[in-house]
Amino acid sequence: MHSLGFLSHRDGRPAAAVGHYTRALALLDGLGHSYLQAVILEHLGDALADADRGGAARGAWQRALDLYRAQHRAAAAHRVRRRMAGLVGLDA
Protein backbone atom coordinates (compact mmCIF):
# COMPACT_ATOMS: atom_id res chain seq x y z
CA MET A 1 0.00 0.00 0.00
CA HIS A 2 2.84 2.39 0.81
CA SER A 3 4.47 1.77 -2.56
CA LEU A 4 1.16 2.28 -4.35
CA GLY A 5 0.70 5.55 -2.49
CA PHE A 6 4.19 6.68 -3.38
CA LEU A 7 3.69 5.84 -7.05
CA SER A 8 0.25 7.48 -7.18
CA HIS A 9 1.60 10.64 -5.62
CA ARG A 10 4.55 10.80 -8.01
CA ASP A 11 2.09 10.22 -10.87
CA GLY A 12 0.21 13.39 -9.91
CA ARG A 13 -2.70 11.67 -8.16
CA PRO A 14 -2.47 12.86 -4.55
CA ALA A 15 -6.05 11.85 -3.67
CA ALA A 16 -5.35 8.25 -4.70
CA ALA A 17 -2.08 8.38 -2.75
CA VAL A 18 -3.96 9.50 0.37
CA GLY A 19 -6.19 6.42 0.12
CA HIS A 20 -3.24 4.06 -0.27
CA TYR A 21 -1.29 5.62 2.60
CA THR A 22 -4.36 5.52 4.83
CA ARG A 23 -4.83 1.82 4.08
CA ALA A 24 -1.13 1.17 4.74
CA LEU A 25 -1.45 2.81 8.15
CA ALA A 26 -4.54 0.74 8.93
CA LEU A 27 -2.67 -2.45 8.06
CA LEU A 28 0.18 -1.46 10.39
CA ASP A 29 -2.12 -0.47 13.23
CA GLY A 30 -1.33 -2.53 16.28
CA LEU A 31 1.70 -4.25 14.75
CA GLY A 32 4.23 -2.00 16.44
CA HIS A 33 6.01 -0.85 13.28
CA SER A 34 6.41 2.75 14.38
CA TYR A 35 9.51 3.22 12.21
CA LEU A 36 7.51 2.58 9.04
CA GLN A 37 4.45 4.39 10.39
CA ALA A 38 6.51 7.58 10.69
CA VAL A 39 7.59 7.34 7.04
CA ILE A 40 4.05 6.66 5.83
CA LEU A 41 2.66 9.54 7.90
CA GLU A 42 5.25 11.88 6.39
CA HIS A 43 4.32 10.79 2.89
CA LEU A 44 0.62 11.00 3.73
CA GLY A 45 1.19 14.60 4.82
CA ASP A 46 2.91 15.34 1.51
CA ALA A 47 -0.02 13.90 -0.47
CA LEU A 48 -2.58 15.75 1.67
CA ALA A 49 -0.74 19.03 1.16
CA ASP A 50 -0.71 18.47 -2.60
CA ALA A 51 -4.44 17.72 -2.43
CA ASP A 52 -4.97 21.17 -0.81
CA ARG A 53 -5.80 19.65 2.57
CA GLY A 54 -3.33 21.65 4.64
CA GLY A 55 -4.94 21.04 8.02
CA ALA A 56 -4.96 17.28 7.53
CA ALA A 57 -1.39 17.43 6.20
CA ARG A 58 -0.29 19.26 9.32
CA GLY A 59 -1.91 16.56 11.47
CA ALA A 60 -0.17 13.73 9.62
CA TRP A 61 3.16 15.54 9.76
CA GLN A 62 2.75 16.21 13.47
CA ARG A 63 2.19 12.51 14.11
CA ALA A 64 5.25 11.69 11.99
CA LEU A 65 7.27 14.33 13.84
CA ASP A 66 6.29 12.87 17.21
CA LEU A 67 7.39 9.41 16.09
CA TYR A 68 10.64 10.67 14.56
CA ARG A 69 11.50 12.49 17.78
CA ALA A 70 10.73 9.41 19.88
CA GLN A 71 12.97 7.38 17.55
CA HIS A 72 15.80 9.97 17.72
CA ARG A 73 15.64 10.49 13.95
CA ALA A 74 16.77 14.12 13.98
CA ALA A 75 17.23 14.59 10.23
CA ALA A 76 13.75 13.25 9.49
CA ALA A 77 12.23 15.38 12.25
CA HIS A 78 13.92 18.48 10.85
CA ARG A 79 12.63 17.69 7.34
CA VAL A 80 9.05 17.40 8.63
CA ARG A 81 9.33 20.62 10.64
CA ARG A 82 10.38 22.43 7.43
CA ARG A 83 7.37 21.02 5.60
CA MET A 84 5.05 22.13 8.40
CA ALA A 85 6.55 25.62 8.33
CA GLY A 86 5.85 25.75 4.59
CA LEU A 87 2.11 25.42 5.26
CA VAL A 88 1.89 28.85 6.88
CA GLY A 89 -0.86 30.77 5.12
CA LEU A 90 -2.36 27.70 3.45
CA ASP A 91 -5.60 25.91 4.31
CA ALA A 92 -5.54 25.23 8.05
The full length of the chain comes to 92
Q: Which domain holds residue 30?
A: 2-85
C-beta separation of 50 from 18 below 8 A: no
Domains identified in the chain, total number: 1
CA-CA distance, 85 to 58, in Å (whole number)?
A: 9
Provide the pLDDT for residue 89. Answer: 52
DSSP code, position 73: -
* 40 is a domain residue: yes
C-beta separation of 83 from 43 below 8 A: no
Region 4-28 average pLDDT: 96
Distances (CA, A) of 37 to 11, 22, 42, 89, 91: 22, 10, 9, 27, 25
* 91 is a domain residue: no
pLDDT digits (tens, 9 = 90+) for 30-85: 788 899 999 999 999 999 999 999 999 999 999 999 999 999 999 999 999 999 99
Provide the pLDDT for residue 36. Answer: 95
Provide the pLDDT for residue 91. Answer: 47
pLDDT digits (tens, 9 = 90+) for 38-49: 999 999 999 999
CATH number at residue 54: 1.25.40.10
* 90 is a domain residue: no
* 50 is a domain residue: yes
CB 59: neighbour CB atoms within 10 A?
A: 15
Confidence of residue 87 (pLDDT cuts 50, 70, 90): confident
* 77 is a domain residue: yes
